[in-house]
Copies of this chain bind each other. A is one copy, B any other.
Amino acid sequence: MSDLLERLRARGWRMTSQRRVVAEVLAGDHVHLTADEVHARAVAHLPEIARATVYNTLGELVALGEVVELSTDGRAKRYDPNAHHPHQHLVCSNCGIIRDVHPTGDPLGALPPAERFGFTVATADVTYRGLCPSCA
């Protein structure tokens, strides 16, 4: 369960102070920050980091497959560093908080061949929605 930063170094990713800070901000489970939130936290450790650099860096991490991009809510995309551990998401319809969840069984199995329209189906992203304990 090596962390994001280690994995990036191992891949020979060119390291800079801003890239390191972005990778440090994105650490742990149940972390689903927007680009702006990542920027805000990064600034606390590296005041001169630019918003555009955060966007570029996040885009690169997504391209590398080290971070997953979520469109779960209406506005800004969120970034999930837990890419090495397959999981789905549970979102509160009221406050928007997101938890990582692990459903049983293979979601792909629920889609019969007749319902595949000739597609080669590769993945299934599931978003569960409901009310969290605080909002219920």
Binding site for B on A (CB under 8 A): 69, 71-74, 77, 90, 92-93, 99, 101-105, 107-108, 110-112, 115-133, 136
How many copies are assembled?
A: 2
Report B-chain residues with C-beta under 8 Å of the C-beta of A132: 117-119
Known: A110-B104, A110-B105, A112-B104. A125 touches B126 (CB 8 A): yes
User: What is the minimal beta-carbon distance from A111 to any residue of chain B, in angstroms?
Assistant: 5
With A and B bound together, what is the CA distance between A108 and B131 in angstroms?
Answer: 14
Residue from the list B69, B99, B121, B131 in contact with A90, Cβ < 8 A: B121
User: What is the minimal beta-carbon distance from A103 to any residue of chain B, in angstroms?
Assistant: 4
Report B-chain residues with C-beta under 8 Å of the C-beta of A90: 111, 115-117, 119, 121
